[in-house]
Amino acid sequence: MRRPIKHSRQKLAAESQRLVNLAVAVAQSSSRYEDQCWQQQLDEQVIRSLHLHHQDILDGATEHLLQKSPNGYEVLAETMETVSTSLQFEHEGKPWRSLLIAAPVLAWTRFEIASGPLSADMQQQFAHCFSNVLLAPDARLRLLPHLFSIEQLPRQHCETFALLEQQTAVLMQGKTSQSTPENPPTVPFLADVRFLMAVVAVPEGAPLFRWQLSAAPFDTEKAKDAVLKEWTEQTENLLHRLIPGCNTEPLLPESYFSACREADLRIRPVSLQSAVYYLGETFELHPDSIRAVIAGFRHPDTPETGDEVDEYRIGFAAADKPEILYGVVWPLYQPDDKNTAVQFDEAGRLGGEISDLLRECGIVDIIWQNEIYDAEFCDDCGTPMFADADGELVHPEAPDDTPAPGTAHFH
């Protein structure tokens, strides 16, 4: 979720410059005390921008730091995530803190992947799982009554903070929740992520998650693994009812941005595997008769540095035909993603995570296009364009009588 926003700006606004200066000061501090002093001022400045819905101020500072001070960028990006998902407030004369959390569910199928409102019964049962499996005893929970797709999640920090404030008030003060705006339609995919979202509140300083109750020697990794195992067992039947006709894998519910980032990374290999299964089931193509074409793509607002790539796109075709039948986008989120996704050995042979996964699925006809393409989309339907075996950008085209992937209803 934390991907750099890349737009060219002529001059920083004064508010953005203050954020830049404070983030650099935190990055350059030489003691914990100095660090805390600068961090408090940075937190307050970010909160001010969030309250005023000045996302452009935050974005301007982030873009500037990305180019001028990578360490300062990391400080500001982490601060924006932390402050927009965690709220300090007073309740009945005592300090409290609330946190926006997300519970991702990986889902893959040849049918439609469900999303939408949760029934009262589903809300109650999932809330029970949250409280009994995930949360510490003193935590209060407000489960949002909706199963979200990626397109329906808040994307900007100001939107995230507004949602946190609203739902915290609903949780703590019994206020009536504002009417939920109409959610954008969900784009059908063979593999996608669905999210349960909640706001959790505890008295200031109290543990929020169950793994925080671990005794010495405080092996939180082991404690989290145990919580995830129990969470998976407790939600298995609920997810089969909530997302019918799908294979599902729940991930560990955590802070909103952390959970979304983990889901982004984990859905990529599932998308490739689902594509191969879809081609076999729909077109009766055995993996050894499928050709995969891999190419790197650059977004229009990414500076041209020669080898900058924002995502890889993998187009699939029958090995004996030129038409791209289906495509998968492999986005890059972290600096190392590019090198781990596509690699070449000393002999120039293609390797890396993408080609390794394709070979595990049985595909041996893999073409690498060495050109970096502009990330183009279909003007009519918004579908990404993919490179074919000849290096031309094309729209994935299935025969006219083929149902679109991910649109069949499960009965």
**pTM (2 d.p.):** 0.85
* Residue 18 parent element (H or E): helix 14-28
In the numeric block, which tokens belong to residue 335?
């600096």
- How does the average pLDDT of the chain come out, rounded? 89
Q: How many CB atoms lie within 10 A of CB 185?
A: 10
Q: Which pair of structure tokens corresponds to residue 370?
A: 């060495």
Q: DSSP letter at 156?
A: S
Report pLDDT for 389: 94
Tell me what pLDDT residue 7 has.
Answer: 46
Question: 296 with 343: CB under 8 angstroms?
Answer: no
Three-class SS of 176-208: CCCCCCCCCCCCCCCEEEEEEEEEEEEECCCCC
Helices (H) and strands (E) in the chain, counts: 10, 15
DSSP state at residue 132: I
Q: What is the mean pLDDT of residues 21-50?
A: 96
Position 302 scores a pLDDT of 66
Q: How far is CA 97 from its chain centroid? A: 24
How many whole angstroms separate alpha carbon 251 and alpha carbon 88?
Answer: 27
pLDDT, tens digit, 9 for 90 and up, residues 127-169? 999 999 999 999 999 999 999 998 899 989 999 999 999 999 9
Angle formed at CA 213 by CA 209 and CA 217, multiple of 5 degrees: 125
Q: When comparing pLDDT for 273 and 111, which is higher?
A: 273
Q: How confident is the model at residue 258 (pLDDT cuts 50, 70, 90)?
A: very high
The reported pLDDT for the residue numbered 395 is 93
Give first-to-last CA distance, the chain, whole Å. 34
Residue positions counted in the chain = 411
Q: How confident is the model at residue 410 (pLDDT cuts 50, 70, 90)?
A: very low
How does DSSP assign 280-295, residue by residue?
Answer: HHHH---GGGEEEEEE
- Residue 192, strand partner residues: 107
CA 37 – CA 30 distance, rounded (Å): 12
Mean pLDDT of 200-210: 96
- If pLDDT is split at 50, 70 and 90, which confidence band does 318 have? very high
* Residue 181: band (very low, low, confident or very high) from pLDDT cuts 50, 70, 90: low
Q: What amino acid is encoded at 187 in this protein? A: V
Predicted confidence at residue 2, as pLDDT, reads 39
- Nearest 5°: the CA angle 41, 42, 45 is 90
Which residue's entry shows tokens 């042979």? 349
pLDDT in tens, 277-308: 989 988 899 999 999 999 999 987 666 666 78
351-369 b/e with 16+ CB inside 10 Å = b? ebbbbebbeebebebbbbb
**Which of 8-17, 34-43, 67-76, 235-244 is least confident?**
8-17
pLDDT computed for residue 93 by the predictor: 93
**Category of 39 on φ-ψ map: left (φ > 0), alpha (ψ -120 to 50) or beta:** alpha
What is the Rg, in whole angstroms, of the alpha carbon atoms belonging to the chain? 23
Instruction: Name, in order, each residue with C-beta under 8 angstroms of 128's C-beta and a sequence gap of 6 or more.
Output: none
Residues 358-374: tens digit of each pLDDT = 999 999 999 999 999 99
pLDDT at residue 151, rounded to an integer:
87
pLDDT at 276 over 50: yes
**CA–CA gap between residue 375 and residue 332 (Å, rounded):** 13
State phi, psi for 184 to the nearest 5 degrees: -65, 155
User: Which of the four pLDDT bands, split at 50, 70 and 90, describes residue 175?
Assistant: low
Question: How many Cα atoms are found within 13 Å in the side-chain-facing hemisphere of 331?
Answer: 14
Check: CB of residue 65 under 8 Å from CB of residue 23: yes
pLDDT beyond 90 at 30: yes
List the structure tokens of 334. Answer: 């972290």
Short-list 350, 360, 378, CA closest to 293: 350
C-beta separation of 318 from 285 below 8 A = yes
d(CA 302, CA 292): 26
346-357: pLDDT as tens digits: 888 899 999 999
* Tens digit of each residue's pLDDT (9 = 90 or more) over 58-113: 999 999 998 899 999 999 999 999 999 999 999 999 999 999 999 999 999 877 89
Q: Which helix (H) or strand (E) holds 329?
A: strand 324-331
Residue 206 corresponds to which tokens in the numbers above? 């109290």
Q: How far apart are CA 115 and CA 102, in angstroms?
A: 15
